[in-house]
Amino acid sequence: MILNKGVMGRMIKVMSVFGTRPEAIKMCPLVKKMEEHPDIESIVCLTGQHKQMLWQVIDRFGIQVHYNLNIMRPGQTLTTITTAILDRLQAVLASAKPDIVLVHGDTSTSFAAALAAFYQQIPVGHVEAGLRTYDKYSPYPEEMNRCLIGRIADLHFAPTENNRKNLAKEHITEGVYVTGNTVIDAFATTVTKNYRYINPDLRKLDFAGKRVILMTAHRRENLGQPLKNICLAAKRIVQEFPDVELIYPVHMNPAVRETVEQILCKQERVHLIDPIDVCDMHNLMAASFLVMTDSGGIQEEAPAFGVPVLVLRTETERPEAAEAGTVKVVGVKEEAIYENAKKLLTDENAYAKMAHAVNPYGDGHASERIINILLKP
């Protein structure tokens, strides 16, 4: 791929397209580095798949946004998200004429943006490439999204060697680079000593002498009975351990909120709060005793702070974390969640083994590696 300034005689024009909060957390460190680089013209296009939660991250990193497709609508579906992005991104790509489009991970935004770039024969770079569960319906639609992006992309920035091997199994070997995960880069901006929380509910909490459990659960495949099981297990944990404070930033999805509030809203020492700023989230993670989550990104983030993670899913596309011992996949059955959390709360050796395991997701320099690859002759 001829992208470098020396060959083309000008700065390369890199368009980053993203639309959800998790993408923004991982793309903003890279965008920030590109904005500072003299050989790169950085262009940011938001799709607006998320709105409020997305802008929290954009504002925190202070990056410049050039285009906003503003697709978010009440009752949006996977189909309406995909078709709206394809339709609206067409004119943006034709106008901006980027040399390459960068997408991240496995969202519907990323798949639709990669497809839109392909339709205009614009090279695509896939940040966080090569994650797989090999079950196209779990996580849904993310597994199929990332597989399809993998077929479209010209450059594949794999966080780990295991991700590179996954791509090789699919005969994707050209343009593949192991870079580490950009989320580790984000901590240089978001995590500080003596941090003061933005969220007033977090500022009120007294963490002294308490063991804080941070919990998040919102995935489509966990809606219904799995989420009920998760909440019932959390309730039992808090009732059994009087020194535990459980903090749950609850996703805005009404289907999530209804279940969570029904089971947990009146439980003492359970704090149900709205989704929080990325800096609040990262610093809260760092202050936590344990994280319980069905999030993909948090499986990478929390271990960087030496905090064990119980994964509230039946599988993970991040097996290197499980192999390293920083996370444990416990499923979505109430008893299994409860027993695994109880073990970490009562067994110091089991806790220390997870807390001291080495995080496999990099050293905080993934963005620099990606930029060097983009500029390579």
Is 249 contained in some domain? Answer: yes
Is 187 contained in some domain? Answer: no
pLDDT score of 7: 43
> Measured between alpha carbons, how far is 307 from 186 in angstroms, rounded to an integer?
17
Question: Same structural domain for residues 106 and 129?
Answer: yes
Is 191 contained in some domain? Answer: no
Question: Same structural domain for residues 165 and 207?
Answer: no
Catalytic residue (one of 99, 104, 126, 142): 142
Q: Is 128 a catalytic residue?
A: yes
Q: Tell me the per-residue pLDDT of 107-141, one tens digit each, with 9 for 90 and over.
A: 999 999 999 999 999 999 999 999 999 999 988 99
Catalytic residue (one of 23, 99, 106, 320): 106
Question: Same structural domain for residues 212 and 351?
Answer: yes
Question: Same structural domain for residues 139 and 277?
Answer: no
Is 188 contained in some domain? Answer: no
Question: Same structural domain for residues 336 and 368?
Answer: no
**Paired strand residues for 104:** 127
Question: Same structural domain for residues 49 and 111?
Answer: yes
Q: Is 106 a catalytic residue?
A: yes
> Measured between alpha carbons, how far is 63 from 262 in angstroms, rounded to an integer?
39
Question: Domains in the chain: how many in total?
Answer: 2
Question: Same structural domain for residues 223 and 280?
Answer: yes
Catalytic residue (one of 99, 128, 301, 317): 128
Is 138 contained in some domain? Answer: yes
Question: Same structural domain for residues 165 and 266?
Answer: no
Catalytic residue (one of 251, 269, 271, 365): 251
Query: Which CATH number belongs to the domain containing residue 251 in this structure?
Result: 3.40.50.2000
> Side-chain half-sphere of 71: how many Cα atoms within 13 Å?
29
- Residue 266 burial (CB count, 10 A): 8
Average pLDDT in the chain: 94
Is 186 contained in some domain? Answer: no
What residues contact residue 149 under an 8 Å CB cut-off, 6+ apart?
103, 106, 110, 111, 114, 124, 126, 129
Render the burial of 111-129: b for 16+ CB within 10 Å, e for the rest: bbbbbbbbeeebbbbbbbb
Residue range(s) defining the domain that contains residue 291: 200-355
Q: Which residues does the chain have with pLDDT short of 50?
A: 2, 4-7
Q: Is 132 a catalytic residue?
A: no
Question: Same structural domain for residues 14 and 90?
Answer: yes
Q: Is 356 a catalytic residue?
A: no
What residues contact residue 169 under an 8 Å CB cut-off, 6+ apart?
none
Question: Same structural domain for residues 117 and 100?
Answer: yes
pLDDT score of 3: 59
Catalytic residue (one of 220, 236, 271, 365): 220
> Measured between alpha carbons, how far is 372 from 365 in angstroms, rounded to an integer?
11
Is 325 contained in some domain? Answer: yes
Q: Is 218 a catalytic residue?
A: yes
Q: What angle, 0 to 180 degrees and rounded to 10, lies between the N-to-C axes of helices 108-119 and 78-96?
A: 40
Which of 139, 120, 129, 30 has the alpha carbon at shortest distance from 78?
A: 139
> Measured between alpha carbons, how far is 125 from 127 in angstroms, rounded to an integer?
6
Question: Same structural domain for residues 35 and 174?
Answer: yes
Is 193 contained in some domain? Answer: no
Q: Sheet harboring 244-249: ordered strands across? A: 270-273, 244-249, 211-216, 290-293, 309-311, 327-329
Question: Same structural domain for residues 231 and 95?
Answer: no
